[in-house]
Structure 1
């Protein structure tokens, strides 16, 4: 698997958020510890209250934050992501969410594996509610929270899934090859070149919650862009949360759009960043 060890491009991180400053702050702690600092961190805010704005002001001097916000009018994640892409200036964009804490090598590893003609698909380790709440800034900055033994001592059940946190690169690259999981566009942990996103016209703004990220990746595949499976090299800690915005009607509507994308071999969408009147 090719790696780009000489970063000659700018990199941005787009973090989607909605009314959860407590989880967002834990995620921002992870970006304070990065071995390679992103050139910009764009908060794609789907209508949060001023509590999120106040949190971001606290970190403005320590992180290169841009706050992109629109008013709360239901689940409009695809729309705010498109606005965040337009607000970005970086060559390469990493997409993630408010509840996903990055290990210290997260940005560095995305940059190492970045390659023209590809997008990257990473993974996450789900945390139970108790430890999600208890994680401190010190746990994250020190990287203790990314230790399998530490997590198990603090209430996480030992399982094969924790191998995503293995730090032996030979083992993780082997596991990346052996996994049966498809390297799809995972909106919580994926990256590609900004110009690819613009050519695809970004995310389909008709889509609500439910595989809306997958549809974007399927258009990239249709355009001849390939994916790299890095679920064991690019782990995030996934803080526990419920999904009150999930409903069957939206899911079914999204599946219709995905079928159309597949049948038509669509590489772009008329319902994305640029829309004709």
Structure 2
């Protein structure tokens, strides 16, 4: 195994199943998948067991009790469950194009983390995409998407299949490379060095704060926005609240102002003694 794909999920087995079908047709197969489950009911576990029997995927289901939005906590547990030295992070609502894992492996480099993005779909399109559309990869085809209601905008260039165009777009884009939880990757040793994700943080900037600590530690971001392609399935976001945003913003400000590289509320909470 050359990489560990860590994907977060919570009570979305229908979306997660579509995502796993996407990983079943990757151009490379030497990767494991760690599903970081933030307290889903048994439906998710049953689906994972069923798809495990239908594919050659190497799946590990890391679950903890539902105590509200605890994505950072379950991600840290998932990191400890990995068996490789490189971690690709995504979400259980992001279907990967068949070359997604290969792109992260191809562009990884010591001293860097990779920063990708996503292509958002409407709720109607998200529901419409089937296993057949994923296995055939037509859900990444602009003609197919437009024939089913996708509006044509400049952003559709993100789905380009041209390696030359992708290289040019990664070079000219003005989007700042940051840690995006749905599409980013890093060396495990660097993740451990900054002690993983800050478990005090709920939804809202928790991924960016982790990336900021990596940068403070000396790990430089590298864009793969037009190489590592995922389509994002739409869904409700009942976990968003203003109080969490305020707490997270204060933690991020401290990280930025004090140039912090390590959180004291991270992976160390899940081992008998600190790993650093």
Same fold (TM over 0.5): yes
8 Å CA contact 1:209–1:250 kept in 2: the answer is: yes
2: CA distance between counterparts of 1:16 and 1:38?
20
Is 1:230 matched with 2:224? yes
Structure 1: gaps (5+ residues): 1-8
1: CA distance between counterparts of 2:30 and 2:240?
32
1: CA distance between counterparts of 2:227 and 2:155?
13
* Distance apart, 1:90 and its partner CA: 1.0
Q: How does 1:1-277 map to 2 (within 5 A)?
A: 10-61=2-53, 62=55, 63-275=57-269
Q: Deviations over 1:15-45 (max 9, x none)?
A: 1000000000010110011001242100000
Q: Please, what TM-score do these two structures have when normalized by structure 2?
A: 0.95
Secondary structure at the residue paired with 2:227?
coil
Which residue of the partner structure matches residue 4 of structure 1?
none
8 Å CA contact 2:2–2:84 kept in 1: the answer is: yes
The range that moved more, 33-42 or 263-272, is 33-42
Q: Deviations over 1:67-88 (max 9, x none)?
A: 0000000000000000000011
8 Å CA contact 1:185–1:213 kept in 2: the answer is: yes
The range that moved more, 203-212 or 167-176, is 167-176
8 Å CA contact 1:97–1:188 kept in 2: the answer is: yes
2: CA distance between counterparts of 1:139 and 1:96?
20
Q: Where does structure 1 differ by over 3 angstroms across 4 or more consecutive aligned residues? A: none
Secondary structure at the residue paired with 1:60?
helix
2: CA distance between counterparts of 1:38 and 1:93?
13
1: CA distance between counterparts of 2:122 and 2:112?
33
1: CA distance between counterparts of 2:156 and 2:194?
34
User: C-alpha root-mean-square deviation of aligned residues, in Å?
Assistant: 1.2
Q: Please, what TM-score do these two structures have when normalized by structure 1?
A: 0.95
Secondary structure at the residue paired with 1:170?
helix
8 Å CA contact 2:96–2:230 kept in 1: the answer is: yes
1: CA distance between counterparts of 2:83 and 2:226?
29
8 Å CA contact 1:120–1:191 kept in 2: the answer is: yes
8 Å CA contact 1:38–1:107 kept in 2: the answer is: no
8 Å CA contact 2:195–2:268 kept in 1: the answer is: yes
8 Å CA contact 2:17–2:51 kept in 1: the answer is: no
